[in-house]
Amino acid sequence: MTMPALQDTFQALVDEHKKILYKVCNSYCRNRDDRDDLAQEIIVQLWRSFEAFDDRVRFSTWMYRIALNVAISFYRRESTRTRYVVADESHLMEAAATENQPEDIRLLYEFIAELDPLNKALVLLYLDGSSYQEIAEVLGISETNVATKISRLKRTMQQTFAGT
């Protein structure tokens, strides 16, 4: 395939599945600039890996796997860096912007934000309607492990939101 054709194919597939990009970035970053940086990193890594893409696997599954791996690495790097940064007024503005969300959505985002990277990815895929098999493929764990983790997360959510 020629380079322009490869680029066109890549662009079409990314455009078709851009909601994955939005979901992953919004789940791992609260700050708009960080979301933009993460999105850029994910797209770069997708492009670098695109020639190795095996079309026997669904593009969305492949994209989720790469996006989540990049997001987890980004999250770890950023959480180390931001430990030493003092909050500024832009964070206050973002907090104010989230006040317009319905209460249940805001609480869900807060719950997801507190999860470790693996569970955050698990919830993201689950809420996206992925099957246990698809989640297992993306995260590289067994379907049984997926079912167990989802069951535990549901229980934790019920306990967390029972008082609200």
How far from chain centre, in Å, is Cα 137? 15
Distance CA 95, CA 98 (A): 5
Say if residue 64 is in the same domain as residue 130: no
Q: Average model confidence (pLDDT) for the chain? A: 83
Q: When comparing pLDDT for 82 and 131, which is higher?
A: 131
Q: Average pLDDT of 128-142?
A: 89
Of 58, 75, 100, the one marking the end of a domain is 100
pLDDT for residue 85 is more than 80: no
pLDDT for residue 156 is more than 50: yes
pLDDT tens-place string over residues 6-52:
899 999 999 999 999 998 998 888 788 889 999 999 999 999 999 88
Give the least confident one: 16-25, 47-56, 70-79, 146-155. 70-79
Q: Can you spell out the DSSP letters for 125-143?
A: HHHTT--HHHHHHHHTS-H
Q: What CATH number did the domain enclosing 143 receive?
A: 1.10.10
Say if residue 82 is in the same domain as residue 1: yes
Say if residue 13 is in the same domain as residue 67: yes
Say if residue 156 is in the same domain as residue 109: yes
pLDDT tens-place string over residues 91-113:
433 444 445 668 877 788 888 88
Say if residue 64 is in the same domain as residue 123: no
Distance CA 18, CA 146 (A): 24
pTM, 2 dp: 0.66
Whether residue 125 contacts residue 135, with contact meaning beta carbons closer than 8 Å, is answered with yes
Say if residue 77 is in the same domain as residue 130: no
Of 67, 100, 133, the one marking the end of a domain is 100
Q: What CATH number did the domain enclosing 47 receive?
A: 1.10.1740.10
Say if residue 12 is in the same domain as residue 54: yes
Distance CA 91, CA 78 (A): 15
pLDDT given at position 96: 40
Range of the domain at 157: 101-164
Of 47, 79, 100, the one marking the end of a domain is 100
The total number of structural domains in the chain stands at 2
